[in-house]
Chains A and B, each alone.
Chain A
Amino acid sequence: MLNFLWPIFVIFSIIYSMIFGDVETLNTAVFKGSEEAVTTSITLLGSLCLWCGIMKIAEHTKFVKKISKIIQPLVKFSFPEVKNDKKITQEISMNMVANILGLGNAATPLGLKAINSMQKQNKNKKELSNSMMMLIVINTASIQLIPTTVIALRSSLGSTNPTSIIVPVWIATLVAAIVGITSTKILIKLTDKNKRR
């Protein structure tokens, strides 16, 4: 995607400023941009390392497994077709918990494991099944307890209270997840009807 977007961004801005603006600002912009990349990465580095470290501890304990037991009922509601398959429901709930905790590195492999187990039971191997769609939608909704990267960014930019966005993020992410799950459920119902006719 960026192979297409990035050159377009650069080329268009050069063309635009050659026609409408002054080209001199482009020179400063190039150096300012690369300088900002350095300052952002360096200020981000500390808090990112801290969180990766803390979350690694969570990964090594039974913490993730414990919470995934709590959310089992939710999983069974969202995935009615696989609710009797213990292995798949466990993989799904582990994936959800990893997402919630912001264990990005752990969440994706767990999710991929779940979708691969679903594929084994899938009747039409070329098409996404209902539960697969639900899994993907939940993973794109980014339900996260602590939005670590954004908080790190805010504190690196000198915010007076970097964590103050946590509750707004919870509300927004919850609404997004509910909208995603409901619209998927509705779309599944609609297309299943069409198939029966």
Chain B
Amino acid sequence: MRMKGLSLETIPSIHVPFRFFNTAPWMGVLAALVLLLEADSVFSSSWNPGLLAMTHLLTLGFISMVMLGAMFQIVPVLSGEMIPGGVLVATSVHILLCAGILSLVVGFYWQAYWLFSWAIPLLLSAFVVFLLPLASLLRRRIGGGDSIYSIRFAVLALLISIGLGLVRAANYAGLLQWAGLPNTISLHLGWGLGGWVLLLVMGVSYQVIPMFHVTPNYSTHMAKVLPTAVFSSMLLLTFVANPVIKGVAVLVLCLAATTYGIISIRLLRRRKRKVPDITARFWHMGLLSLIVAASLVMIIYFSDHLFPSIRWREKFYIGTGIILIFGFAVSVIMGMLQKIVPFLSYLHLQRSCMNNFDLLKTLPHMGEFVPPGFPRWQFRLHLAALLLLLVATVTGQLVELCGLLLIVDFSWLGLTLARASRLYLSTAKRVALHNQS
């Protein structure tokens, strides 16, 4: 059933998503600092401690931080139901997640794996506190249509990815000696990026692309087939040993990601409003990266033996990871943040003017929260950072410059969001004073 519309009566307090959104860019800055400090060796191997620290700062610190904040916002809005626990749950998740990520990353960076015995309970608590109330909502029959359908799969994928990640962390810390599933690392990566990130981006895009970019809706049929194909492929890759079936699963997974990318780009091309919108370019960059990454994953899986040396194979793996994490997920999230933060700010301020309509006219326009120049520069910086990251991976040169560019890229986003949040707070204060008088 296609949802009837967004239910905005159940929106949580703006502080809930904003604390996650305002933290994430600075985790990205930390990732860039690691790149800068470890410039000599970071791209030497996919097992390099600096690279592992940087990857987790991006995947947990930036991507998951924003996605968790967005889930607190989008699930109630789509389903019309509040996530139990509200602000208390969000605050606990935010604190536990920040502490858990920092212990994990410091543990990786200084190879102080004993720190994982702190990181494991902290991250486990963060995700349990997040997932339990959410699961109590998602297992019920709620509204939200195609988006919630994909988000349910995304949450399951997150659960599996976290479980596998914690097993690996416990291994590092010497807390667990469990052979368990072979390829734990590949599955952890697959469920995290192919499952959690891709499925959640799919679910969210079914709403935000048609709404913010005024495009036709995704077809309901495809909106269900694609996440089902992604999730089923990941299940086959996890539990089936037959190499032919595994090969088919990789093919289906990559084709589903590519199809999603092509459909979304075609929808964006059919935008009904032809006014320039730089945030649509972030979607283009992200979706093109997804299509490229899906092709590279197929090359890795089916033609792994063709690489001339282990060194080149490592470069190829790292390059694919960069395109998927930085090119796809980070780009899409950067674009969405610059749309969602002004929208939420304006929406919350509107509602505070309910008793005094004259105040509505005094509110800053949505475009004032993030003026067009900010996303324009963000796009240039981000595109340059992506290209330079790829050059640095292949050549091993310009890594320091790349680190500096990444610092500017994430700091620019952090300052843009902080500026928007400040404008929201000062306006909310002014409106509250008017309402009191």
A and B: interacting chains: no
- Contacts from A to B (Cβ < 8 Å): none
- Contacts from B to A (Cβ < 8 Å): none
